[in-house]
């Protein structure tokens, strides 16, 4: 494309609200962490190669559908999730570090389960930790 020679109406997005096609045979609960795998949305889970994109703003039930039959609205931002336990418990000293996905509502301190091999994908950056959970920047 060549450089502009006149004014252009350039579309804008806020960078917070998105909609993604839901993976086949998948159910995503409102308020859950959403990841993309092969371009389709699914609930957060332990696994590598997943991309955390935000929190589901609505329930999306595609259990009887093919990939992309429905979309799920997703919001990027800072959200509080459940904290893992034991060696993977996130503390205030971890603020600024990465949080790792355990499931659609839980994050952990490390990208590896007890066996030591990398089994988790990054959820996002730890922003705060309180008595109710871990605040994570997603998306």
DSSP string across the chain: -PPPSS--------SSEEEEEBPTTEEE-TTSEEEEETTEEEE-BS-SS-EEEEEESS-EEETTS-TTSSEEEEE-EEEEEEE--GGG---GGGTTSEEEEEETTEEESSSB-TTSSB---EEEEEEEEETTEEEEEE-
Q: Identify the pLDDT of residue 72.
A: 98
Q: What is the pLDDT of residues 96-117, one digit of tens each?
A: 999 999 999 999 999 987 666 8
Predicted confidence band of residue 13 (pLDDT cuts 50, 70, 90): confident
Nearest to 123 by CA among 133, 68, 115: 133
User: Rounded to two decimals, what is the model's pTM?
Assistant: 0.90
Pairing of strands 106-108, 133-138: unpaired
Longest dimension (CA), the chain: 61
Predicted confidence band of residue 14 (pLDDT cuts 50, 70, 90): confident
93 close to 120: Cβ distance less than 8 angstroms: no
Q: What is the pLDDT of residues 43-69, one digit of tens each?
A: 999 999 999 999 999 999 999 999 999
- For the chain, the structural domain boundaries read 18-76, 78-138
Residue 13: count other Cβ atoms within 10 Å of its Cβ.
7
């Amino acid at each position: 494309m060549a450089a502009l020679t006149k004014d252009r109406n350039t579309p804008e997005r806020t960078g917070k609200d998105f909609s993604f096609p839901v993976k086949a045979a998948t159910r995503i609960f409102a308020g859950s962490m959403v990841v993309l795998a092969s371009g389709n949305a699914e609930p957060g889970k332990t696994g590598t190669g997943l991309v955390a994109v935000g929190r589901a703003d609505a329930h999306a039930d595609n259990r009887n559908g093919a990939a992309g039959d429905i979309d799920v609205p997703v919001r990027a931002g800072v959200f509080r999730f459940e904290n893992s336990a034991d060696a993977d418990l996130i503390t205030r000293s971890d603020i600024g570090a990465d949080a790792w996905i355990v499931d659609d509502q839980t994050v952990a301190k490390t990208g590896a389960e007890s066996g030591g091999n990398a089994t988790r994908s990054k959820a996002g950056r730890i922003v705060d930790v309180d008595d109710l959970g871990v605040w994570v920047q997603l998306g």
